[in-house]
Structures are given as C-alpha cells and as structure tokens.
Structure 1
C-alpha cells in the first residue's frame, strides 16, 4: 500500500517539479543516537541521520538530502516501536517544535546528552581531556521555563486530518451554499520550517499557571471582540506576540506586542485581563510596525506595575526587564552557576573577569568568593541592568563595562583594574570569536571557566586554547529537559 502511494506521489511530483522524487527506505532498524536530536541507521553501508525516531524503532524513512556516504531523512511510518519509548505527555507532540524528546524517558535523555558532549569534545576538539563528571540532570522536567513567547497568527495550522474533515464538510454543503471562509486564527508556536503558520496551543507544559489560562483567555477575548491577528505575509494585523516572564518569587510579567497602537481596544483588553488575573504583577505593551518580531530595538511601555520582575538565585536578587537576558530555567541556572563557581576555585583574593556577562548574573553569583568582579558585555542595556543588580545586592566589589572584550582588555585597562586571575566566559551558541580566543591566550589568566550552550563550538575553542591551557574539569548540565540542547562547563588551567 505504501509503495503504491509513493509511486503515485512520485509521478505527480515529477509532473510538477522535474528531478524531485520521494525516496522511501522501508523497515529500517534505528541503531543509535547521533546528535542534535537525530538518530542513526545504516543501509547498504550508507549512514542515515533520522528525525523523529529513537534507537530500537523500526521505521520507513523518507529521504531528504542524500550524498554518497550519508543521507538525512525523517521517519514517516513505524512498523514497531523501541522498548526505550514512553508515552508523550503533550497533545501537540510531533507537531510543535519544542520538547521533541518526550517519547524518551528522562534518564535516557540525559544519558544521550552526556554522550553527545563527550563525542563532540573528542571528535572536534582532538585534545587530551579529563574524565567527564556525570551530567547534572533537572529535578523538574515540566513547567521549568521562566520565559515564553507566543505568536498571534491569522493562519492556524491545520493537520492533515483537519483538512480532510474540512473538505468533507464543504462537499456536503447544499449546492450554491458558500463555505465559511472566516480566518481560523491561532495563538501559539510557529510550525517548524513553515514561517507563516502557527499551532494553536491550548496546554503548554513548559511554564506553570497562569500561563495557559492567560493565553487562552486573551485568544478567546480577541476572537469575541473581532481583534485582528497578525498576517506575516501581508504584514497586517493588530495582535502580534505575547511574552511571559514568571519567577520563583511569584511575579508575573506579560508583554503584548501590537502591530500599531489602538488605544480603545488596548484599554478594553488590558482592563479585562487585569480583572481576570490579579496574579499579573506587571503588564506592558510594545508597538512593532516592523516586518520582524524582535523587540530589542523597540521600547516596551509599562501599563501596570513596575515594568520588571525580580528573580532570585540563592540569596542574590536580579531585576529582569522585558528585554533582559536571564537564564530561562531558574532552578537549573542556579545549578549551572554552582558548577561554574566551584570550577573557578575562588579563595577571596582573585580578580575575576566575567566575559559576555549579560546582566551580571554569573559574576554576582561568584562575588562572595572574589576580591573584585569585572564584567564586560557588548550590549549597553545589559550592562546598565548589571550595575543595578549589583547595587540591589549591596555589592561594592563589582564593575561592569560595555564594549568588545578585544578593545577593552588592553594594558591601560589592566593597569587600572588589575589582570585577571580567573576568567569566566559564557558566549552564545556560535562560541567565541577567534580574535577573542587569541586575546585570552595573550592575557594568560591562570584559570579560565568556559560555560557553553553548544559543546560543538566549545570543542573548537578548546582546541585553540590548548596552545597554552590544559582542560582540568568537565561538567554537563541539562537546562532543557525533553530537548536535545545541553550546556557544558569546562575548567582550564594555564600550562606551567
């Protein structure tokens, strides 16, 4: 049956687009986990990287990119399921781009993550490494995020079953009856690889209540009052995005982005929202007339409350605004920072440089053990937040500077502030720029602690730092359960 369908489909596609064929590999046993959430199988000596399957599954694979020795594909039919599998808890699993590993027990997830870090460091780094410490798993695997962003869309994504049912209903209409073409709107997450369609999310397990209740209320209220949802292709519509921040201190921030200002309807929506949810401690709005959804070059306006929320890591407090960067898993962020602080081996006499310091969270977390904290960050607004956070915690041994590390850390700066005894670097997924790595080799701090959200680029940078440094300790930390993402902390010491 499947082959017949595939052949018919191939004929159709070839008539429309030449040279494009659907290639199906049948009854393939998935052998192992590869990386980045994909699994691996071998067919006639060729390595196949597979999306949507786990080791032990027997599947049909629809091939995409295909080279001589390897190919990529996705599982399109399951003949049998792996004994490793468990039942996903979310109704949107398989469609939503988040929480792709729900079908794996958590113990298996972290085992695969630990192995991925080890393999990346050995395969890409190709340097001598110590034995890796066991991964720090999360105690809380649901409702762990303190920040989520949802998108309003005039085009709700319809599943194949929904499309068939819609066509069936339209076919049953009396002759001459026009079908209902009312836009089917959505408030949720973008469909992976389909930029203009959004999945209408009713229950999300990433953030605790009242997240779901607020989102569902806003969607229903907007539909009832005829508010327009954003159409990304036409660049039209009033409601664009909704961002939540919820802290362990019990504070709730909601920031709704509008395509243009509409004071009467905004007042109508916000009064209803605050009346229904007294848990909201601050409510903001942002006007975004641009084509993209980024708010970092826009100015959110406070409608209710202080315009920020407060979070705690151990006894340290942090002010978080609508545009602030903060670890999105507070509890695991605290564990990550504990590892970082332990690897720094502070005695109270060290000058610590915190590179990519953001709002100062790592430096402040380590402040009790250091003589002086120097934070450097390219984003000026984050530096202002870092200064406020240091002041809020009564710290007098911290200084924060906006700019590029390569430009700031010169001889004059060292003469004024002292050379670093310890450097903590926490770069984005792209890792450190090679010029910064060369700068660190030039500075020759006795100890470096490298916090990474991408072990592949960390491995590349460790290979460059190997010129003068030895890797002393390695510790993975799982910040995002049910995803393939993993953090890793490396401690390096200067060669004697």
Structure 2
C-alpha cells in the first residue's frame, strides 16, 4: 500500500505503511502481549484474535490544519519550523471517502467567504483548523476553529452555501481558540446549524455526538470493541454494572441493551452525558441505565466500597485510572472488571495494583493502522 503524501515526505503520520498490514498487526499483537506479560496472574490470560482494521479509508474523524491563503488554502498539517507553512493533504488514504470528498468543497467555501487562514509566524488571520466527523449515512459535522468571533456572522450568513457544497452536512459549529498555542481547539463552542448533534452508529447503538464529545477515530474497530465488552458483560451474568469514563455512553448502552438490569454511566463532560441520555431514551433503555456528569473516580469513591456493582467497566484517558482508583477497585466487591485502554503501558501499571483480580481474556483493537499505537481491552475476575 502506498500514500503519495508519505512517499513524498510530506506527511509521516503513518510510518509503518510500507509494512504489509498483516505483519503490522502481528507486531502490535506481540508488543501488547509483551507489555502485559508481567501483570498479576498473566499466565492464565487468553488472548483473543485481534480486531483488525481496514488498512485504508478507516478514519471517520479528520483534523485539518489550515494554511496558505484565502484564494489558495491548504487543508492538512502544519509544516516544520521556521516557516510552519501549511501542507496540503488532499489524497490521504486514511480518511473515509466521504471526508475526502469534503476537502475541495471546504476550500471553495473558504475562497467564497474570504476568511483568512491563520498565519503562525505572523500571528494574523482567523481560520486555524477545520475538524470533520462522519456519522451515520455519510452525515458530517464540521467545526471551524477561529482565532476570534470576528468572522462568526459571516460564517452564519454563508451557511446555505456550505450546505449546497456538502449536501450531507448536518452539524456546523464555530470553536474559538484565541491564544497562540499548539492546540487543536479552544473552550468556547458555538453551534450555528439547526441540528446540534451528529447521529453515529457504533456497534449496535446509534449514538448522538455533540461537537465536543469524544468519539473513536476508527468507527469500524470501535464497533468491535463495544460488542466485545458487551459480550463479556453479558456472559458474566452480572445484573449491575458501572461504566466509568463513559463518554457518550457506548459501553453502558450496549450493556443495557444486552439485558443488564442496572447500569450507571459516569463521565465528566455534561455535553457527553446529555448525548448519552438522549440515546438511552431513543433506544428504550432509560429505565435500566442512568447517566451522571461527574469525575468518574471521585464518584466511585463517594458511592463507597459496599455500593459497588457486580461488574465495572473503565475506559480512562491515556494516563490510566491511577494508583488510588486502581487500589480502590482492587478492594471493591465487583466480581468482574473490564478495562478498555488506549495505552497498554498505563494499563499494565494499573493492573499491577489490582492483584485481587485475574485476567481471563484480552484483545487488541487495531484503531490506528500503520502506526505503533495500540488499544486493548481486558476482562478480569475477582479471585476467591
């Protein structure tokens, strides 16, 4: 497999692309097994076959750094110092066809509106990034990251043009990033479209994504992850489950649809929780699943050890759940723990603090082909 942007030296985001995908997958499987080889009771752990990705057109999210000029904008990445010139990546084979088809219309929209791309060296211009997410049936959410609100009225007024250029467009927002920093987005989000959330089928549930809600980049592999966790939860026989760091509720909703009677989902983002509650209502499981906006670890501490359910699912950020929470879970009454991780090293560190649990099964989920990034999930059972 070849990418013109990699072979030309323009982009190095997929450095392993010259390696056959099957070999890549085997190498990542070997690497994650090695990382988890010395967790407590690892010898009894069964590795399931990895969840493979499509080698191309798998990314349902794109972050386009904007460069160039109003007349000749670039959508891609920021080039190296000292110029930091925009690098145009119109032929990235990681993006879905739907996202790829949006690139030229977005350039036309920039030209038509006259919004000036942000110049990093001069610190002039307004448009810093365009973030694109694909949902169900090729529906798109597009977020314009601006330096200020100066062009907000102009974007609002030209929204009909954007819809005509991209017919599957559903959600449009403006994100304000006023500071000069290597950040993708700022804290203020302004929805300028009538629709505020993007429907996205992941696994067996159609989720509703808000503009700032986290979603996996690789929807196909994420679907396998949700189904795997649901299967583990269902086969455990648990009747109660906590989904901690639940995001928009993917694991919790799959568990409730799978028949688990009492499910609680906890996520710090109120926007994500609102989306999860809407999905629960649409799916008819609001009587079985409750979502709360709170810090997941602190919420668990506040419930107390005696309130722990039969199963706990954790899906933390890269840093993991940390020493205090790992030790709390280790002392809890939960019979099963399912740990979904985007960082096997922090996963191994956390599991070493949970010797009261033995891993039963583990699986690699290959979210990012052509890279060394690894995500995996582990099913653990409390020792007698």
When normalised by structure 2's length, the TM-score is 0.88
Cα displacement string for residues 89-129 of structure 1 (whole angstroms, at most 9, x for unaligned residues): 33344431322221011101100010010111126x37533
Matches of 1:194 and 1:204 in 2, distance apart?
A: 25
Corresponding residue for residue 451 of structure 1: 340
Matches of 1:413 and 1:462 in 2, distance apart?
A: 21
Matches of 1:442 and 1:311 in 2, distance apart?
A: 37
1:117 counterpart (25, 32, 52) = 32
Is 1:327 matched up with 2:241? no
Corresponding residue for residue 141 of structure 1: 55
Corresponding residue for residue 427 of structure 1: 316
Is 1:297 matched up with 2:174? no
Provide the secondary structure at the position in 2 that maps to 1:443. coil
Distance 1:314 1:117, change over 3 A: closer
Matches of 1:464 and 1:347 in 2, distance apart?
A: 23
Q: Which moved more, 1:288-297 or 1:391-400?
A: 288-297
Cα displacement string for residues 20-52 of structure 1 (whole angstroms, at most 9, x for unaligned residues): xxxxxxxxxxxxxxxxxxxxxxxxxxxxxxxxx
Size of the aligned set, in residue pairs, is 378
Return the offset for 1:237: 0.7
Provide the secondary structure at the position in 2 that maps to 1:300. strand
2:265 counterpart (355, 375, 391) = 375
- Unmatched tracts of structure 1, length 5 or more: 1-86, 156-181
Corresponding residue for residue 77 of structure 2: 189
Contact 2:236 2:336 in 1 (8 A): no
Corresponding residue for residue 54 of structure 1: none
Matches of 1:108 and 1:235 in 2, distance apart?
A: 44
Determine which structure has greater relative contact order: mean sequence separation of CA pairs < 8 Å that are 6+ residues apart, divided by chain length: 2
Distance 1:265 1:404, change over 3 A: closer
Return the offset for 1:214: 2.6
Is 1:394 matched up with 2:309? no
Provide the secondary structure at the position in 2 that maps to 1:470. strand
Cα displacement string for residues 70-91 of structure 1 (whole angstroms, at most 9, x for unaligned residues): xxxxxxxxxxxxxxxxx52333
Q: Equivalences for 1:207-218 in 2 at 5 Å? A: 207-218=95-106
Corresponding residue for residue 485 of structure 1: 373
- Unmatched tracts of structure 2, length 5 or more: none
Matches of 1:438 and 1:146 in 2, distance apart?
A: 36
When normalised by structure 1's length, the TM-score is 0.69
Q: Please give the root-mean-square deviation of Cα atoms over the aligned residues, in Å.
A: 2.8
Matches of 1:385 and 1:195 in 2, distance apart?
A: 41
1:362 counterpart (251, 261, 265) = 251
Distance 1:377 1:274, change over 3 A: closer
Is 1:469 matched up with 2:357? yes
Corresponding residue for residue 239 of structure 1: 127
Matches of 1:308 and 1:195 in 2, distance apart?
A: 37
2:47 counterpart (132, 142, 167) = 132
